[in-house]
Structure formats: structure tokens, C-alpha cells
Structure 1
Amino acid sequence: MSILVFGKTGQLARELAAYDGVICLGRGQADLSDPDACAAAIRAHAPAAVINAAAYTAVDKAEEEEALATIINGDAPGAMARTCTALNIPFVTVSTDYVFDGSGEAPWKPEDATAPLNAYGRSKLAGEEAVRAAGGAYAALRTSWVVSAHGGNFVKTMLRLGKERVRLTVVADQIGAPTPARDIAAACLAIARQLREEPGKSGTYHFAGAPETSWAGFAREILARAGVECDVEDIPTAAYPTPAARPLNSRLDCTSLEAVFGIPQPDWRMGLTEVLKDLGELA
């Protein structure tokens, strides 16, 4: 079946583009700052399902551009979802752990109360709420710490800095899990296909890698697997101030996704190996 994907150059969209039957729309075909254009694109293509893999992702810059971030992350997914509802096709949108305030140590469940700490999180939550309100077959898939061989991301940054320096300082009190974009892409497609047959599975779900780690722990694993000799020093978030506050607890409870859709958590360490192979960096 044909699946229309919003996004073309991002980490998730690049992985989705590898599948047959997937049509990816870049900004030239559908600019998310123009929600009406996104709705028109869906009507023009008349796909079997729609996946929104595009977003405003500049977390710190969003503190200054919250209005624009909210249009892209909030209004556009809402327009997409309403159009899909009218056409009776399922809609899958990708959200984030940043909708939570990061308190406590327990993994966040999909039904837990949201309380974003920053503008980016607020904009993504607005998108979730708009999609739910559309009333059609949908899935809002929250994920965390997305990594791949595409674009700019933490893996590439650590590899570059690790080769330039003998020691890196990395935040160690933010706990969550990396999630390979390749696994997110497969999950989104599986969800879209199942929703066509069983729209009653609609809802908000979590999908993140396992096991949990810190950014510092992730950095050590990246450097070790790439054979880069560089020490990693743990530092607290307070020692690395950023314009946008980050949640300390980004653990996500993914049990409902496996129970409903049969999609288990991926081992991010296996995904990291694949990413390093793609980059030609595996030791």
C-alpha cells in the first residue's frame, strides 16, 4: 500500500524512504509552516496511510521561536490528522519524551500526566492533542534520543570530538535510551498497516531503545565500539546550561506498544553497531 511521509531529509524520513511504496515529501512539496498545504498534499496523493516524520527539532532555538515551532509541531499535525480522518485513513505522528517534566525515576507511561519543561516539548504536546482531537485512526508515537547515520546527531558529534580530544565531559544525570531511527521507521510502518485493519488500536504509545543509560554512558559505548581512545567524564546537567531545560528522567514505558501492536523495544546497542557500520566507523 502507498504511504505518504512528511519529511525527506531528517533521520526518520531517510529510513522510511528505503521502503517500497513510501512517498516522502520535502519542504518544497509540503512546508509544515503552512498546515493547509500539508492537508492539500494528503488529498492530492490519496495514500493508504500517512506518517508525519517531519518536525521543528531545534530544541534550544525553539525558546525564541515558540510560535513557529507550534505551527510546525502542533498545527500542521492537526491539519494532517483532520484530513486523514475525513479520508478515513490512518495517521501516525512521532512525538517525544520532552512532553514530560522528567521528574522521578520510573519509566513514563503513555497515560501519565504531561508537563513539558521547554517550548519544544509544549509544541509537540500541542501536536499530540490536535491529532487526538481529530477523531480518526491515529497513533502518537513518543520516542527519545533518535540516532542514525543521517544528519547531525549525538553519535556523529561524539565521534568527531572523541578524535579531536583526549577527554570529553558529558552529562550523566539525564537518563533515558537512544532509539535508532531505523527501528522507529519499521515501527511506524507496522503501526500504520495495523491501524488500517484495526482502527480501534488508536492511541498514544511509547517506543524507545533498551536498556536505559545516560548520555555519558552512551558516549562511552559509541567511542568504545568505534575504537576511539578518549576518556568521558561525567558531569551534571547544571554544569552544561542550555537555553531549553532538559528532563532528567526520559525513561519510557513501552509495554503497551508491544501488547497492542506486537512491537518490542529494540536493543539500541545493536542499532548503534549498524549506525557505525553505515558510517564506516565500527572498530
Structure 2
Amino acid sequence: MSEGSQASTRTILVFGSQGQVATSLREAILPAGWTVRTAGRAEGDIAVRRDVDRIVAASGAAVVINAAAYTAVDRAESEPEAAIAVNRDGASHVAEACAHAGAPLIHLSTDYVFDGRAVGHAYREDDPIAPVSVYGASKAEGDQAVRDAAPRHAIVRTAWVYSPHGQNFVKTMLRLGRERPELGIVADQHGCPTAAADIAGALVAMAVRMVEPGAGSDLYGTFHFSGTGPTTWYGFAQEIFRLAARHGHPAPLLRPIATTDYPTPAARPANSVLDCGRLHAVYGIAAPAWQDSLAPCVARLCETLVEPVT
């Protein structure tokens, strides 16, 4: 690479190197002249302000994406300080560093900021938040910290994230499907499964737009992005095993159950369906039908689950 081409390269700095979205950002196809650099715990602790300041200043990033989060939803109920240190304080540190560096910030958030009690409509960006878990509350406080510290920010709420990486519902289903003949799956929680690869593509497109000449203030604020089309965890599981059967994966008997039949330390929103109209109106970005994005993920995972022939 020549000196001139190096100078023209624009960097997207991503906090959260091991997460599903950060991993998908490393795999994303980028426009010419763009590169992604992820920063994880080996580089510094997001909960430590001086670490974040150092990483942002040294990166020379054109845009920063905060995909770092404490996501152990149930464990957060017993260790709230750990969740707050990352989800609120860490978000604040990143936002302040971006403001100082003059770099736009894209901050990844969650449907868990809502209580899930809305009936008959998808949640819009301006609907009142009312988190019902420590995790949701810590993310809501982080969102507010971003608003307070970084004038040029886009908060992107998403839901039901899955990928071939990390821990998620798709990987859990495929594992349990090989271990058990029957599974009880919650059928009274509604949401839109979202591929981390689709999130990564949306975030890159947003980042590129943010630094275009004449980029307007409408590019900033709060947005929703999730897979297109609502379902339940039961419906999600049905589609996972329907797709997996094409690859010879065992299909257990699925039994719909109520949330009350599967108690967890942290409450979950009954309605996690997000209205993504604003992102489409402002950026022209819309997710595919969730079933379409699920198919390649299941195929990739099933390839890794094939037992060797002896």
C-alpha cells in the first residue's frame, strides 16, 4: 500500500472485540478506503476512562462504534455494579472521548430499555422507556450518558441478536437439539430476530454517511434496527430446526410454553418488536426478512456440527 493510499484510509474503531457485532464487523465487506479496527480488553478496559481516551486518540478513527456491553442479562441481577461499569460508565467514557476527538459515535443499544407491555404496536424511538431488569436499566443509563456527552451520536437499538459467533439463541437451540428429544420454548414473547451480520452492514453504512460532505443533523439521534417481521421464541426455534433439517441436523419435538413456565432471574420484555421506520427514512437502511438472514447462519453452524466419518 502506498503512502498516499494509507493517508486516505478511514478507520472505524469498534469497542467490544469479542462480541457478535464486533466479530461480524471484522467480517464485513467494507467500501474502498475503509478499515475496521476492534479494541478489546487486551487493549484496555472500557470502564477505565484513561484507557478509552488513549485508544480513541491513538486510533485516528473517522467514526467510533461502541459495541461493548455487559450482556449477561440474568447474572446482572446479582452483580449490578459490573453491568453499570460497562454499560453506563463505559458508554460515557467512549462518548466523552469521541466528543474530545471530534469523531461521530454509533452506540449499540437494546430493546430491553422498554418494559415490553405495549400491545398492538412496535416500539418507536420516542416511546417512553421503562426497563424491567438491571441489564435494561444499565443500558438505558448508558444511552443517556451518550446523549449528554457526544453531540454527534447515533444510538441504535436492536433485539434478539444471533450469529455463528458467541452465545445466542440459534447456537443454543442447535446444541440442545442434539442433546434432547423434546424442547419447551417460550411462545408468549414477541420480537424480531436480528442477524449480527445485518447489524454490521447497517453500522458500516451509517458510518460512511456520517462523514460524507454536507452530512446533516438528521443522521444523529436514536434509531431502531432489527430483522423484518415479528415472531416468538417458539416460532424462531421452529424455523431454526426447519432450516437445520436440510443439513441433516436432528429436529426435536418443540412444545410451546409460557414465560411463567420458564422463570429467569431477570424479567424479559413480552413485546420486543421495534419500529425501524426512522432508520429507513433517514439512511435508506432496512433489514431483510429475518428468515432470509437466518438461513446462511444456520447453514454455517451446521457445517461446524457435522461429526467426522470414522
Q: What is the TM-score of this pair, normalised by structure 1?
A: 0.96
2:226 matched to 1:211? no
Q: In the alignment, is residue 100 of structure 1 matched against residue 114 of structure 2?
A: yes
| Residue in structure 2 matching 1:11, options 20, 25, 34 | 20
Q: Residue 173 of structure 1 is aligned with which of 167, 182, 188? A: 188
Q: Which moved more, 1:79-88 or 1:240-249?
A: 79-88
SS of residue matched to 2:14:
strand
Residue 277 of structure 2 is matched in structure 1 by 255
Task: Tell me, in whole angstroms, the C-alpha distance in 2 between the residues paired with 1:74 and 1:166.
Answer: 41
Counterpart Cα distance in 1 of 2:150 and 2:38:
25
Give the Cα separation in 1 of the matches to 2:72 and 2:46: 15
Structure 1 residues 35 and 173, CA gap change in structure 2 (3 angstroms): farther
Q: Where does the alignment leave 5 or more consecutive residues of structure 2 unmatched? A: 1-9
Q: CA deviation at 1:199?
A: 4.8
Question: What is residue 35 of structure 1 aligned with on the other side?
Answer: 49
Q: Unaligned stretches of 5+ in structure 1? A: none
Of all paired residues, the percent bearing the same amino acid is 46
Runs of 4+ in 1 over 4 A off after TM superposition: none
Give the whole-Å Cα distance in 2 for the aligned partners of 1:31 and 1:278: 32
Number of the residue aligned with 1:124: 139
Length-normalised TM-score, structure 2: 0.88
Please identify the structure whose Cα radius of gyration is greater.
Answer: 2
CA contact (8 A) 1:13 1:53 kept: yes
- Bigger drift between 270-279 and 114-123 goes to 270-279
Amino acid at match of 2:262: Y
Give the match's secondary structure for 1:170: strand
Give the distance between the partners of 1:10 and 1:96, measured in 2 at CA.
Answer: 14
- Answering whether residue 63 of structure 2 is matched by residue 45 of structure 1, we say no
- Any residues of structure 2 matched to 1:172-211 within 5 Å, and which? 172-197=187-212, 198-200=215-217, 201-211=219-229
Distance in 2 separating the partners of 1:54 and 1:104: 28
Amino acid corresponding to residue 90 of structure 2 in structure 1: A
Judging changes above 3 Å, is the alpha-carbon distance between structure 1 residues 84 and 199 closer, same or farther for their aligned structure 2 residues?
farther
Distance 1:75 1:8 in 2: 18
Match of 1:265 among 287, 292, 296: 287
Residue aligned with 1:17, SS? helix
Aligned length: 283
